[in-house]
Each structure stands twice: as structure tokens, then as C-alpha cells.
Amino acid sequence: MATKNNIRSIRFSDELAQMIDLQPGRTFTEKFEALITKCCWELPGKEKELEEINKQIAAKRQELNELWKSCQEWRGTLQAINSRIIALENVLQQETEGRNL
């Protein structure tokens, strides 16, 4: 084990003390070192992973927006077709009634 020549006195909040206490280790120093090591080694990778996930989310949002626009266009088309069908039914009904007279 490496010698520990650095002696420092620091003040920190109760919240930080609880976070340190949750780390693996037997002593406060081991727990503190575990937290610092974890942050220095794992955090950059997690930040990069988060950035990639955010890019994927943005791409999926764009895809969803395009699908939404397409859905709205189809909805308008179906409404127009439905209106024409109703108009055609009305014309057919009028023709049928005219022939029955």
C-alpha cells in the first residue's frame, strides 16, 4: 500500500459525509479514497455515455416528430376522403330517390 504523506483538514456538509459513508471501505479514509477514485475514473466514461444517450434521444425525437407530421398528413387525407364519400353517398341517395318517383 502506498504511503500517505498528505495530511489535510477539510470541512464538509453532513450530506457529503453521508455520501462518503455509503462508499465501500472500512475506514473513513478508504471510503473517501473510493469516492474520489470512482469519480475520477468512472465519471468521464459515464459523461460520454450520457452524451451518446442524449444524441440517441434527440434522434428518436426527430423521428417521432417526422412520424407525427406524417400521421397528421394522413389524417387530413382520410378526412378529405371521408368528406368525399359522404358527398358521393348523398348524390347517390338523391339519384336513387329521383328514379323512384
What percent of the chain shows pLDDT beyond 70? 96
Question: Is residue 44 over pLDDT 90?
Answer: yes
Asked if 25 and 34 touch (Cβ cutoff 8 Å), the reply is yes
Residue 62, φ and ψ in degrees, nearest 5: -60, -45
CA torsion angle for 82, 88, 92, 98 (degrees, to 10)? 130
Cα-based angle 29, 50, 14 (whole degrees, multiple of 5): 30
What digits encode the pLDDT tens for the residues 45-76? 999 999 999 999 999 999 999 999 999 999 99
Question: Is residue 5 over pLDDT 70?
Answer: yes
pLDDT at 101: 63
